[in-house]
Amino acid sequence: MHAPLAHGPESNRIQVNVRSEIDPLKVVAMRWAIPYRTSWRDVVSVLSASVRAQLRHNSWADYRYEVVRTQQERVVQVMRDHGVTVLFLDNVPGVHSQHYTRDIAFGIDDAVFVGRMGTRYREPEQQALASLAPRLSTVVRLERGRIEGGDVMLYGDKVLVGLSEATDAAGVSELRRLLAVRNSPRELILIPFAHRGVIHLDTKFNIVADHCALFTRASFGPDTLRWMEQHFDLIEATDAETRGLEINTVALGNGHVIVSAQSERLATRLAQRGLTPILVDYSEVTRWPGSFRCTTLPIERAA
C-alpha cells in the first residue's frame, strides 16, 4: 500500500519531508499552464452539481496562457532566489486546470499521499506523477473516496482537512485509515464550511506563520471559528480579497510569504506581525480560482 519506491540512481532520490506549512521550503513540484481551449471535458464537468456550486461562488474567466506563463516564471524565480529546487511535472493534454498542482497529492511527514480527484475532468492530472513518484522516498495512494491537496493542511501534530466540494467523507476515512497504517501520531481535524461551492480549504483559510493564519469569516460556522480563534492569530480577509484568492499564499519559510501584488492591505497586516511578504502579480492565474498555494506542491521542507 505504501512501500517506498526505489527506482533510479540514489543521487536522484528525494527524501520527502513535509511536517508543516511554514518550515523552509526546499523542494516543490509545479506544472506549466497549457493554452486554454474549450473542450468536451469542460462541458461535461460543468454538468455536475459540485462544479455548478463552485461556479456560483467563485470567479471564473478564460486565462491568457502567455501571461500565466510569465507570472509562473516570476514565482519560480522568487522561489529559486530563496534556495528552493523547483521540479516540473509533465503536462497532460486537454486539462486546463493542471497548473494547480497542489490538488493531485499532498505531503505528510515522510510520505507523499496521492489523492483522489473530486471531478472526472481532473483525474488525468495525476498521470504526471508517474515520472516523479519513482524518485520519492515514500508514496501512499488513496484507494477510495475523494480528497484533494488543497483541502489538506498541517498544523502542529494535526492534519486539517476541509470538507469542500472536492473532498468527501469516504476520502477522509481513507486518509485516517492510511495514517493509522503508518502509525502516524497525527490527529485528523475536519473543517466543515458554512456554505456550498468552496473550491478548497486553502481558498478560505491558510496558515502563513506559526499560529498565524489568513481566513474569511463568512465561510465557517461558530464552532469552527471558535476553534480557529483558540489556535491562531487570525487575519481576516475582506469579501473582495477572498474572491480574489488573496488568502491562497505560500510560505517560503523564515517568515517569507509570497502574496498577491494586489494584497497590499494583507501584506501590511503580515508585516505588522514580523513577516516578510513578497508581492507577486498572479492576477492572470487567479482568473481560475487558485493562486500561489494551489500551483505549488511541496515535497520537502527543512524541519
On whether the CB atoms of residues 159 and 124 are closer than 8 A, the answer is no
Q: What is the pLDDT of residue 230?
A: 98
Asked if 113 and 172 touch (Cβ cutoff 8 Å), the reply is: no
Please give the average per-residue pLDDT across 56-63, as a whole number: 64
Kindly compute the dihedral angle of the four CA atoms of residues 160, 170, 186, 191, in this order, to the nearest 10 degrees. 20
Beta bridge partners of 233: 212
Please compute the mean of the pLDDT values over residues 200-217 and round it to a whole number.
98
Q: What's the pLDDT at 183?
A: 98
Place of cell 493531485: 104
pLDDT in tens, 148-177: 999 999 999 999 999 998 899 999 999 999
CB 57 within 8 A of CB 270: no
* Averaged pLDDT for residues 275-298: 92
Confidence band, pLDDT 50/70/90 cuts, at residue 49: low
CA distance 97 to 34: 9
Map out the domains of the chain with their CATH numbers: 10-301 (3.75.10.10)
**What's residue 99's pLDDT?**
76
Q: Give the pLDDT confidence score for residue 286 in this predicted structure.
A: 85
Convert the chain into a string of H (helix), E (strand) and C (coil).
CCCCCCCCCHHHCECCEECCCCCCEEEEEECCCCCCCCCHHHHHHHCCHHHHHHHHHCCCCCCCHHHHHHHHHHHHHHHHHCCCEEEECCCCCCCCCCCCHHHHEEEEECEEEECECCCHHHHHHHHHHHHHHHHECCEEECCCCCECHHHEEEECCEEEEECCCCCCHHHHHHHHHHHHHCCCCCEEEEECCCCCCCCCHHHCEEEEECCEEEECHHHCCHHHHHHHHHHCEEEECCHHHHHCCCCCCEEEECCEEEEECCCHHHHHHHHHCCCEEEEECCCCHHHCCCCCCCCCEEEEECC
- 239-271 pLDDT, tens per residue? 999 999 999 999 999 999 999 999 999 999 999
pLDDT in tens, 79-88: 999 999 999 9
